[in-house]
Amino acid sequence: MIFTSIDFIVFFVFILGVVAIVKHRKFQHLILLGGSYYFFYFSSNYLIVLLIFSTILDFYLAKLIYSTDNIFRKKLFLIISLVGNLGLLGFFKYSDFAILQFNILGNYFDLGTNIPFINLILPLGISFYTFQTISYTIDVYRGTLKPSKTFSEFALFVAFFPQLVAGPILRAKQFLPQLREKMEDYEINGNIRRILFKSANVKFGITLMAFGFIKKMFFADNIAPLVDDIFFNPIGAESFTIILGALAFAVQVYGDFSGYTDIAIGAALILGFKIPANFNKPYFATSPTAFWNKWHISLSLWIRDYLYLPLVFKNRKSPLRIFLGLMIAFMLIGFWHGDGWNFLIFGILQGIFVGIHTMLRSKIPFLRNHKFFKTKFGKISSILVTQYLIFFSFLAFRISDLQHLFYSMEKYLILDFQITETIFIIQSHKLSIGLMILFMIIHFISFRKGNLVEVFSKLNYKYWVLFLTAGILAILLFYDGNPTDFIYFKF
């Protein structure tokens, strides 16, 4: 069930209405749980059993971990959790990729027999809810979290439909306390106490969802044809065409993914739950490290807390250990996105960028303290260099064919100063180019003026309704009527 479909709008309004009618908090949670399972079943059919399996596995293993003082048993239960969850993720997501590599190797050594592909359907959201349940079990193992009291409570944490399919990746310590709070006052930027359907929450949530729909349906989906045209077969393309494609994809993927996140967070807020932000103006980051503090924040923090810090814990002062830890972390981030060598290349590039930046800042005080980097020109220069590198790595994110990828990377880095084809592309995709420019202007205004969602949500109702109406008309005017999947549904 895609957020941008009529099916979701009807479903969400129905769930909202039923929850509003039912006043008892536990019944509200059960309705949300049932609705979340229906939402997942509607999209994935029988693959819902995998979601339920992960939920049952980690609910009971966490209780076993918490109930014993025996270190060996604790580790054993944790290993079972990791093997069970990562085993499912690996089998469904990477089986055919592994078979392909074995077949290539077999053909190289002329073994004569190929292993047949399994052709499994990738379960929707498995990369997200698997990481959620793993973090829960690890937190219980570390003693930083008590296990959930009831199965239904934990199941709702795992299956909560707004963020189930494409995040943000929730932590149990962020979500479970909200289920246990009484219906008290809730501040958007304050604590986790909440009251269902508080007018400020509803208005802010609707505004956030509207921004999400506009980002996805008005901007990202209308920029996609330009990106597809350039990267369908980039062999022979000019350097500026490749750079234009990289820039267009950067706008598309940000509008698409942050649009999903806005809808998810807005829907959750209307229902009375706070989900952490997943983006914070990443294209104004002044370094690769800062970029990953602003882009897909929930994944970055998950990798930091559950992989990177344990890797470097014993020797945080070793530059080699830090660099290797960063490389391993970002290689996992890359491979988490998909079963292709291009995603591994994406992770390696990010690891190199962040690793080199970390090493330079720690070893060269000039780069850390010099006043040049605090000037306006210094900040602008840092932003431009950072985004040039980030958009370069996005080529690996977008292009799966390695021949096409390496050609595009070469053209991106070594300019040929030809513009004939680039001008033709621009003339052929005037709408996409115009929307790219408009998106970047709005993004810049948001960077300069603060949170535009908050600004629009505080408008009086007359102007607020006018904004919503304008957003709906803009979408309808340029929408072809066929809802397209969000990019991160593939992961």
Q: Helix H segments across 293-340?
A: 297-303, 309-312, 319-337
Tell me the whole-structure pTM to 2 decimals.
0.89
Of the candidates 478, 481, 491, the one whose C-alpha atom is nearest the C-alpha of residue 220 is 478
pLDDT at residue 199, rounded to an integer: 60
pLDDT band at 411 (very low <50, low <70, confident <90, very high): very high
More confident site: 291 or 99: 291
Q: Which two tokens stand for residue 150?
A: 């009831």
- Looking at residue 286, its amino acid is T
Residues 432-472 have pLDDT tens digits of: 999 999 999 988 888 887 788 888 888 888 899 999 999 99
End-to-end Cα spacing for the chain: 16
Please report which confidence band the pLDDT of residue 370 belongs to, taking 50, 70 and 90 as the band edges.
Answer: low
As a whole number of angstroms, the distance between CA 260 and CA 386 comes to 25
Among 337, 357, 404, 429, the one annotated catalytic: 337
| Residue type (1 letter), 276 | P
SS3 194: strand
Please choose, from the candidates 202, 194, 149, the residue with its C-alpha nearest in 3D space to the C-alpha of residue 176.
149
Cis before 123? omega within 30: no
pLDDT-based confidence at 305, cuts 50/70/90?
very high
Sign of the Cα pseudo-torsion (446, 447, 450, 454, in order): positive
The answer to whether 66 and 146 have CB atoms below 8 angstroms apart is yes
Query: At 26, is the pLDDT very low, low, confident or very high (cuts 50, 70, 90)?
Result: confident
Residue 16 scores a pLDDT above 80: yes
Write out pLDDT tens, residues 165-187: 887 999 999 899 888 764 333 33
> Which candidate, 116, 114, 122, places its Cα nearest to that of 91?
122
Average pLDDT, the chain: 87
Give the pLDDT of residue 187.
39
Q: Which residues have C-beta within 8 Å of that of residue 351, sequence separation ≥ 6?
A: 326, 327, 328, 329, 330, 331
Report whether pLDDT(191) > 70.
no
Q: What is the pLDDT of residues 373-398, one digit of tens each?
A: 678 888 888 999 999 999 999 999 99
Q: What is the pLDDT, as a whole number, of residue 52?
A: 94
The residues near 46 (Cβ < 8 Å, ≥ 6 apart) are none
Residue whose C-alpha is closest to residue 454's, from 269, 179, 183: 269
Q: Please give the pLDDT value at position 433.
A: 95
Mean pLDDT of 48-74: 94
Q: What is the pLDDT of residue 189?
A: 38
Average pLDDT of the segment spanning 50-78: 94
Q: What are the tokens at 68?
A: 């014993």
Q: Contact 397/337 with Cβ under 8 angstroms?
A: yes
Percent of the chain with pLDDT over 90: 57
pLDDT of 208-256, one tens digit each? 999 999 999 999 999 999 999 999 999 999 999 999 999 999 999 999 9
H helices then E strands: how many in the chain? 23, 0
Position 364 confidence tier, pLDDT thresholds 50, 70, 90: low
pLDDT at 149: 85
User: Which is higher by pLDDT, 200 or 327?
Assistant: 327
**Residue 188 scores a pLDDT above 50:** no
Whether 296 is catalytic: no
